[in-house]
Amino acid sequence: MNQVGGTKTKRKPPSARRKAVHGDNDHSVTAEITLLLNTLRELAAIRSTAEDAAARILDSAEGLLSLADKEEAEKAQGAILEIMTACGFHDLVGQRVTKITETLDCVIANRLTGEEPVRAKTSAKTGSEITLEGPSHSTAQDQARIDALFREKN
Amino acid sequence: MALDPSTPVLVVDDYKTMIRIIRNLLKQLGFVNVDEASDGTAALNMMREKDYGLVISDWNMEPMTGYELLREVRADDHLSRTPFIMVTAESKTDNVVAAKKAGVNNYIVKPFNAATLKSKIDAIFGEPS
């Protein structure tokens, strides 16, 4: 999970950071927070745009699929199903945007209070002791690796 | 044991797009009786009202995750044998192993395609993929 804030060696003690937040740097912190809030709005717009696009593509693909059914066009069906499954980008975009949004929320909270950032919500959605990480960066190999895990005996 | 295409299937995901995709894929595989739920709690309530021959669930949902749903299902005498496929972006080995230990029948990583879904369903019900 993303670590929010600086490294241990460079990090100032909380009291010093609070002084920075409430002292001479008030204006720059305000500007920074405004920038971050604008970024959050952009991320929300990306998620909304992706959702709309996926829905419109699915509408068209479903329409095509009903035509392909009638003509028994197997190749067309395969292509349409590929279009449909590709619409899953909306889910993955949404999950990645959520991770970024939660991280930015932590940064904003940190800038406002000078306290240690709380852990991002995504990693806290555990369902017991399990930490969720969202989409990985190597999905092509993931399925094969998981299939191998499932072939192993307990 | 082949799965009867008229068997009710429950798809659980908090993204309507994903439910729509999986519903369409299932339709192409011949499944016509597909219900949907947007999280584990809703799914569990539906499973206690109706017998499902297969559950296809996302993991990362609120308030009840797919993993919690799986554990609830496996702990329930009436539901414990329901075939359960996890379809999720979560691919960390520890999580996959946890799901396997909890009794998931198969595991699909997003993004996936129609062939992968078919092969995992076939694997559970003993048909060649």
CA distance A65 to A50: 22
Q: Which fold has domain B9-124?
A: Rossmann fold (3.40.50)
Nearest chain A residue (CA) to B97: A149
pLDDT above 70 (res B107): yes
pLDDT above 80 (res B97): yes
- A8 CB within 8 Å of a chain B CB: no
- Show me where the domains of chain A are located: 14-151
pLDDT in tens, A40-99: 888 888 888 888 888 888 888 888 887 766 656 777 888 888 888 888 888 888 888 988
pLDDT of res. A108: 86
Neighbours of B66 (CB within 10 A): 29
Average pLDDT over residues B64-78: 97
For residue B80, the SS3 value is coil
Tokens of B42: 């809703």
- B75 CB within 8 Å of a chain A CB: no
pLDDT of res. A8: 38
Nearest chain B residue (CA) to A72: B28
| Banded model confidence at residue B71, pLDDT cuts 50, 70, 90 | very high
CA distance B9 to A145: 27
What average pLDDT does the structure give for chain B?
A: 92
What average pLDDT does the structure give for chain A?
A: 74
Q: Which ipTM score applies to this complex?
A: 0.80
In degrees and rounded to multiples of 5, residue B37 shows phi and psi of -140, 150
